[in-house]
Chains A and B, each alone.
Chain A
Amino acid sequence: MTQNRVKKTLAGLTITSACVLTFLIGTRTFGFDGRHKREPACSELKLRELGRSVTLGSKTAKYASNRVLVKFRPAFSVRNIRPTLQAYGSAKVTSIPQLGIYKVQVPAQASVKEFLAALKRNPDVEYAEPDYQARIQITPNDEYFWRQYALFNSGTDIGIPGSPAAKARADIKATGAWEMTKGESNVTIAVLDTGVDMNHPDIKNKIASHGKDFINNDDDATDDHWHGTYVAGIAAAETNNSQGIAGVAWNCKVLPVKVADKEGMGFYSTLIEGFVWAADQNVQVINLSMGGEEASNSLRSAVKYAYDKNVVIVVSAGNEGNYVLYPAAYDDYCLAVAATNYNDEVTTWSNAGPQVDVAAPGDNILSLVPTWYFGPNSPPYAFASGTSMAAPHVAGFAALIKSFKPWLTVPQVMNVIRYSSDDVNADKFPGKDDHIGYGRINMERALVPYKLKSSK
């Protein structure tokens, strides 16, 4: 019996030694494969408020560059495992005894691939595999991110008292898109609105300049309403700063342009001035969450001026449950945005018409309000509804596309946004329709490479 065991051990060690020798000879001294360097780990989010976390697999397989997982065949003596692995040059071996799996350090001068190839040649090894990285999808650490169903809809309630449960993944697929880009700081979204609270802690670092105030004719577009701050926050609030909310375009800048007064009213003349001024500042995207019932040649000219200056113009369709307002109705130059809710249904109040290009969540959206709005003891955040809230999701999306592919022309960006949409009302209105246009935007489909598979 003992003799048999000794024989078996000797045979095992002989085979192992041969494999080790082969490995050592075969190991080249080129160092580690740079393409497999470990990505910085995402910190686990503490989601006490919602009491749950979501772990999703990464898109591309990434693994630890200095460690592999190995399991030996049951017949191989446990006593021989560590000496065997050390013979390969592994300085550190730890085990998960319940599963008989070993975490083995990759020897110096060898890559993971080479080490695994050597281990797999050993007949005593049942399997050897990389220590793959599992991580949550790129998810910001902003305190209220889990209330932003528009960006990532977990399928729970949306965070307001009495709110119904939402439909999981009825969202714009922001987390997947952020794996490709979080935006560039040289891409700016001009927010033509009531101004922006430039002291708000969740956006003050994202402001490109104090902007322009066409109501008071000065160079300080501070918000004296709330709407502009709110819209700007959806598009580009400071993200991953451990507070408040996440913006769609993490790293893009906001240029406040005040074209509406403290009552939220503005004339076409101020809108026109706002469009022209913003276009002259070389912004890449303009968001206008406003509109009027009447067509205007002057307004059309202003929109065309910005379009011709290579600016993507995003405008809300309006909230009357009626026809699309102007300038959203200037279909050649604007993306007209309708509003969906947390179940991917079009809202009853969202305007409709053939000019609607796409939809985005606009029902009960959480964003910023000016710091003075609720007073000093309340966090400056609130829920609100409207196509005004839908449009800045699309504006942020356009800014991400311009960041990732700056060579795309405005019509191309508009079509990328349109064609990548999810036709969420296809059961009633398949294809492009007057309610949500091409569909609810899907940032992931637009930005993550399409895997070209063999045609059948």
Chain B
Amino acid sequence: MKKRTALHVFLAACLLLAGAAAGRAQEKGLFQGVNIKLGLGADTLSRNVQWDKGPDGSKLKATNVFLASEFEFPIDLTLGLFAGLSFSDFKGLLFQDLPFSVEYQAGAVQGILLGGELRKGLFSFGDFETEAAAQFVSSLGSTKKWPIEGFAVPGETSGKPKWSQLNAGASLVYAAYENFRPYLGVSLSWLWGNFRMTETMGDLQGTQIREIKQKGLVRISLGTTFQVARQFGLKGEVGIVPIKGGTDLSASLRLLYGF
């Protein structure tokens, strides 16, 4: 609990310091020609995950909240960095190699989210612009413990999930409006990671690490940037990954302040 509070304080402090530093840097002209933006973001995603060993799958439902920054360089290149918290739920994941098999139904595990993205303008034609874009996020889950009840001796499991996602592709931006830039993107999406589960009960102990085995999937996204005011911008995106027997969905929203 103390650890979690400390993490929140640390992240809030980072936000304040980063804001102050960015403002000062901009004032002093340290980033000449670089447009700096800072803000807050939130993502949610629901993915069908295939795992090692057999056909059983599970869902990954994650909610991420983070501090976002963007550096727009004059060469039509934008670098984004973000850090925050992730809440990942791998509902239905089976750990059959433990002495007592376990089916994960314990909700979201909190972790640290780190990520970055890169966008580069390619070429324009008429009211349209094209961009190449790549985004990477990584969720490093903390270790969480759960009791195992109803057995002859007390037991406990501890689990630690981590996952990363990389989307890389291109998008077509409709640039006819000054403050409103809708886009359609097509990318390949990779997901990898693992979930380590340890079970302890009396003299019994077992550990199983389940690895995500997911090939690259086509992701289609629809989003827009919207300049609400001179310094405030909003960015929203929804993405779908059509897969056999279902659809992976994601949505993100960012509020950015330009210095």
The interface of chain A, by Cβ under 8 A from chain B, is 28, 30-36, 111, 113, 405, 407-408, 411-412, 415-416, 418-421, 423, 431-432, 438-439, 445-455
Contacts and interface: CB of A to CB of B under 8 A. Distances in A.
A419 B151 contact: yes
Given A415-B99, A419-B152, A453-B105, A111 B245 contact: yes
B222 to A, nearest CB: 15
Given A113-B245, A420-B152, A438-B152, A415 B102 contact: no
Contacts of A411: 203
B204 A412 contact: yes
28 contacts: A33-B245, A34-B244, A34-B245, A35-B57, A35-B245, A36-B245, A407-B97, A408-B99, A412-B204, A412-B206, A416-B99, A419-B202, A419-B204, A420-B151, A421-B152, A445-B151, A446-B100, A449-B95, A449-B96, A449-B102, A450-B102, A451-B103, A451-B105, A452-B157, A452-B159, A454-B146, A455-B145, A455-B146
Nearest to A32: B245
B246 interface: yes
B145 A419 contact: no
Contact of B146 (A32, A421, A438, A453): A453
A329 to B, nearest CB: 20
Q: How large is the interface on B (under 10, 10 to 19, 20 to 34, 35 or more residues)?
A: 35 or more
Contact of A33 (B99, B148, B246): B246
B147 interface: yes
Given A34-B55, A449-B94, A449-B103, 17 more contacts: A36-B245, A111-B245, A412-B204, A412-B206, A419-B100, A419-B153, A419-B201, A423-B152, A449-B96, A449-B101, A450-B101, A452-B106, A452-B146, A452-B159, A453-B106, A454-B107, A455-B146
A426 B147 CA distance: 21
B106 A455 contact: yes
A261 B65 CA distance: 75
B71 interface: no
Contacts of B155: 419
B150 interface: yes
Interface string B37-69: 000000000000000000101000000000000
Nearest to B244: A30
A454 B148 CA distance: 11
B180 interface: no
Contact of A452 (B97, B102, B152, B203): B102
Contacts of A448: 101
Contacts of A113: 245-246
A416 B245 contact: no
B106 A416 contact: no
B242 interface: yes
A449 B150 CA distance: 13
Given A113-B245, A452-B102, A453-B146, A418 B152 contact: yes
Nearest to B96: A449
A30 B245 contact: yes
B99 A412 contact: yes
A31 B244 contact: yes
Contacts of A431: 152
A432 B243 CA distance: 51
A448 B96 CA distance: 10
Contacts of A450: 100-103, 148
Given A31-B244, A449-B94, A432 B152 contact: yes
Contacts of B102: 449-450, 452
A33 B184 CA distance: 28
A438 B55 CA distance: 36
B246 A416 contact: no
A30 B218 CA distance: 14
Contacts of B157: 452
A431 B148 CA distance: 16
Interface in B140-169: 145-148, 150-153, 155, 157, 159
Given A28-B242, A30-B245, A439 B105 contact: no
B226 interface: no
B103 to A, nearest CB: 4
Interface string B203-214: 110100000000
A432 B102 CA distance: 24
